[in-house]
Amino acid sequence: MSGPDTNDTPASTHTSEPSTHFGFKQVESSQKVNMVKEVFQSVAAKYDIMNDLMSLGVHRLWKRYTIDCSGVRAGHKVLDLAGGTGDLTAKFSRIVGESGQVVLADINDAMLKVGRDKLRDKGIVGNVQYVQANAEALPFPDNSFDIITIAFGLRNVTDKDKALASMYRVLKPGGRLLVLEFSKPSNEMLNKAYDMYSFHLLPKIGQLVANDADSYQYLAESIRMHPEQEVLKAMMDTAGFEQTTYQNLTGGIVALHRGFKF
């Protein structure tokens, strides 16, 4: 899968098709969705174990932190967007209880399926709904959710502004959005070490465990291409969110952004 080159080759001069990045590659926007899909289709089965390996289990704490900041309680309606294998959904489902509801939405049916099977095995049924959806065009009525979370999902979305606007639309007034995503470590040393880790070690682990170095190379690149803290905060403001704040976790390797709709 090689996208057209951006350097003025004839292919890239046709202006009708906007381009975007896929990791460090430049590809046509319309292609990125499928390429991201391929990546997650291919990692779905090994996704959970890779998550634990790559982050040494710390992703569980980042997710816990997100839930602690969500203000979730019994009866709430929660959207776990790009929810993948459903880590956040599982916990939300127990907390919102029978009177609440959690929607696990993801663009990728392979990830959704792994998620659904995993949650069923854990005995989580009843208040969880599974929806295949693109974050850029959410298939829900306006003002539907008390809380929306998108964990490690936004960087894979082609048009992030469109996605943020869509999330704003389906959030209830008074509701909040939480974006958990890789970000830029605040310390130069940590940044260098982290680069070493993600560009050299991570694809190797990916090759060893999931037999798929390319996908993990993409993950590393997509992390680097994702807008850093202040930029993402500004994007949320533009989408209409208010009182937007962010918190760096683990030295800024990850950041949690939060914004309200009033």
Partner 1 sequence: MPFAQLVTSGIELAMNQLLKLDDDSQQRLKKLSGKSLQVTIKELPWPLLFSFSEQIDVRIVLTPDSDSEPPCEPVDCLIELNLETLPKLKDSSQLTQLIQQKQLSLIGDIYVAQTFSALLKDLDVDWEEQLSRYTGDVMAHQTFTTMRTLFDTAKSQIEQGAIELGEYLTQSDSIAVKPSEMIEFSRGVSDLRSSTERLSAKIALLEQAKKVDTGLNN
Ligand X SMILES: C[S@@+](CC[C@H](N)C(=O)[O-])C[C@H]1O[C@@H](n2cnc3c(N)ncnc32)[C@H](O)[C@@H]1O
Determine the Cα–Cα distance for residues 2 and 9; give it in Å rounded to an integer: 14
> For residues 3-42, which are near ligand X according to CB under 6 A?
36, 40
Least distance (Å) between residue 39 CB and ligand X: 8
Least distance (Å) between residue 57 CB and ligand X: 13
Residue 97: strand pairing partners: none
Name, in order, each residue with C-beta under 8 angstroms of 166's C-beta and a sequence gap of 6 or more. Answer: 135, 136, 137, 138
Q: 229-239 and 160-170 helices cross at what angle (nearest 10)?
A: 50
From the list partner 1, ligand X, none, pick the one residue 152 interacts with, judged by a Cβ distance below 5 to 8 Å according to partner type: ligand X
Name, in order, each residue with C-beta under 8 angstroms of 30's C-beta and a sequence gap of 6 or more. Answer: 17
* Position among 20, 70, 101, 134 found at the interface with ligand X (CB under 6 A): 134
Q: What are phi and psi of 197, to 5 degrees?
A: -60, -50
Q: Please, how many CA atoms are within 13 Å of residue 107, restricted to the half-sphere of its CB?
A: 22
If 0-12 CB within 10 Å is exposed, 13-18 middle and 19+ buried, where does residue 216 land? buried
Q: Which residue is nearest to ligand X, using beta carbons? A: 84
From the list ligand X, partner 1, none, pick the one residue 249 interacts with, judged by a Cβ distance below 5 to 8 Å according to partner type: partner 1
Q: Which string of x and - marks every residue 212-251 that binds ligand X (by CB under 6 A)?
A: ----------------------------------------
What are the residues binding partner 1 (CB under 8 A)?
A: 58, 60-62, 64-65, 67-69, 71, 73-74, 91, 94-95, 97-99, 123, 245-247, 249-250, 256, 258
Least distance (Å) between residue 171 CB and partner 1: 17
Q: Residue 45 — left, alpha, or beta (φ > 0 → left; ψ -120 to 50 → alpha)? A: alpha
From the list partner 1, ligand X, none, pick the one residue 84 interacts with, judged by a Cβ distance below 5 to 8 Å according to partner type: ligand X
- Give the interface segment with ligand X, choosing from 81-89, 122-130, 187-195, 244-252 (CB under 6 A): 81-89
